[in-house]
Homo-oligomer: A and B are copies of this chain.
Amino acid sequence: MTASAETTVANPFEQLPQCAANHQALTPLGFIARAALVYPDRTSVIHGARRYTWAQSYDRCRRLASALHRRGVGTGDTVAVMAANTPEIFEAHFGVPMTGAVLNTLNSRLDAPALAFCLRHGDAKVLITDREFAGPIGEALKHLDRDILVIDIDDDQARERGPKLGALDYEALLAEGDPAFAWSPPDDEWRAISLNYTSGTTGDPKGVVYHHRGAYLTAIGNVISWQMPPHPVYLWTLPMFHCNGWCFPWTLAAVAGVSVCQRSFTGESIWQAIGEHRVTHFCGAPIVLNMVANTPADRRPKISHTVQVMTAAAPPPAATLEEMQRQGFRVTHVYGLTETYGPSVVCAWHDEWNELPIEEQAQLKARQGVPYPNLEGLSVRDPLTMAPVPDDGETIGEVMFQGNVVMKGYLKDPMATRVAFGGGWFHSGDLGVRHPDGYVQLRDRSKDIIISGGENISSIEVENILHKHPAVLLAAVVARPDDKWGETPCAFIELKDGFAPSEEEIIAFCRSHTAHFKCPRTVIFGEVPKTSTGKVQKFKLRHQAKEL
């Protein structure tokens, strides 16, 4: 079915010119130009007392691009940003790539050595940094053996404002720029738009490179997969530094929505924003959902509209789901990795599932699901033979991705890139199954599987059971070395306020729900260590379990 070179030449359909009239690089940057053209007076960004319209945001982004351009920033350069969820990092998603440069948003919870690694590895030429993070960033800059232009974000909403590290403030930089700056789309949509370092639980973080084409397609994929109407009011709980906020800065420009910024949040502050700004959409890990669901009733404003919540990283437990639904939220479960521009798989919901008991709904919603319309391939395969596993919901394989919303590659790491793309599929490292209806469900990360007496135990399966216990707020299960069995499951549990079950009670609860060999042998109560994006840090727990 594919044409040989010979038939192409003879084929009159292929003898038509590609030119500016009928071919342009796909880029999400056009969305902000359109939002400013069509809805210049609609609100784009709210941050405390600051409020911008799309005309103003576009103006500020072009000033940023112009000022950076005048200071020599262009194609091939990197601009790093260390910021909370504020207007500046939102603007950087447009202003930086308008110069042709690559945006590298830094994880604001990283320590100085990790930050220094990112700045060095990413060759950042400019760093825009919020004063709240002056401590670790100042340290990191000392480790850099070269010049870098530092710009300070001086935000009066910051909890603390450390020393200024830079040559000038962000607003002074904007003042240098021309609001009429004539930016161009990239000459090739395959050009890099951003650089996102993975959290790197072992070894150095990897620099995941996104391109304009993928960012455009994910931005639009978010609209369709989440059925976003025009002008949604989006609350930034998800950090914008994380996978470019799942590409939502660009999505919000495409639908001319409102970005409600919060530097940090609590369940109460989320409720407050929903009440005050009529927030319609936000994203967050299940732990964020828990915070919202468990906010005391007297701290919640009355709301009359439905709030759409997108969640990832772990399936939402049934109890959380039920409470969220009762309170007016509708939860969409998505799945993806830094390497797939954030979410690219969605548990697409069937209306008839609404009629099922909530427990069954939670079970269906716990599945990661099906590809976004813009993800070309999703498959569960045997990594050895690359054969797809049967659709039986039981045979475990590696979840693999293929298509335009898979990263360009790992920066300066051609071998890691080739390994990740082995056989023409991106190997996620996540283990999962495919159900008879085609929905994919994760079973575990390869390294999270517990092997006890030669049997595989899915830590996720055990965690799902624990989450059904009324006292459990958060549970994480890892392998504990065992002389007899090799490994046994060890559970770490955060309890809800006012509950104090015993270890025996928890184990007995598990035994009433699953095979004995899968039940935890050890239960530890206390706070569970998490990444800045709310992911449980299992490597720390594994270390702890070894020391027990």
Contact = CB atoms under 8 A, between A and B. Distances in A.
Interface of A: 1-3, 7-8, 10-24, 26, 30-31, 34, 37-39, 69, 74-76, 99-100, 102, 123, 183-187, 190-192, 195, 209, 214, 220, 223-224, 227, 229-230, 254-255, 348, 350, 370-371, 373-374, 376-377, 401-404, 406-412, 414, 417-418, 420-421, 424-426, 438
**Residue among A14, A404, A418 with the most chain B CB within 10 A?**
A14
B220 A21 contact: no
B411 A13 contact: yes
B373 A76 contact: no
A461 to B, nearest CB: 25
B184 A424 contact: no
A224 B227 contact: no
A425 B37 contact: no
> Which residue, of A12, A31, A37, A409, has the highest number of chain B Cβ atoms within 10 A?
A12
Given A1-B100, A22-B404, A408-B22, A13 B209 contact: yes
B38 A402 contact: no
Contacts of A20: 402, 424-425
A412 B14 CA distance: 10
16 contacts: A1-B75, A1-B100, A1-B183, A2-B184, A12-B412, A13-B76, A13-B411, A14-B76, A17-B409, A17-B414, A17-B418, A20-B402, A21-B425, A22-B403, A24-B376, A227-B229
Contact of A417 (B17, B223, B412): B17
B404 A26 contact: yes
B224 A100 contact: no
Nearest to A194: B13
A421 to B, nearest CB: 4
A171 B154 CA distance: 70
Given A34-B371, A100-B1, A21 B401 contact: yes
Number of copies: 2
A409 B16 contact: yes
A420 B407 CA distance: 37
Contacts of A19: 421, 424
Given A13-B411, A17-B409, A1 B184 contact: yes
Nearest to A187: B2
Contacts of A412: 12
Nearest to A346: B38
A426 B22 contact: yes
Given A1-B69, A10-B76, A16-B209, 14 more contacts: A1-B184, A2-B184, A2-B187, A3-B187, A12-B123, A13-B191, A17-B409, A17-B421, A19-B421, A22-B403, A23-B403, A24-B404, A30-B373, A30-B376
**Most chain-B Cβ atoms within 10 A of its Cβ — which of A1, A22, A102, A371?**
A22
Contact of A11 (B2, B22, B75): B75
Contacts of A102: 13
Contacts of A7: 75-76
A401 to B, nearest CB: 7
Contact of A402 (B24, B229, B418, B425): B24
A373 B254 contact: yes
A33 B74 CA distance: 41
A387 B451 CA distance: 71
Nearest to A225: B230
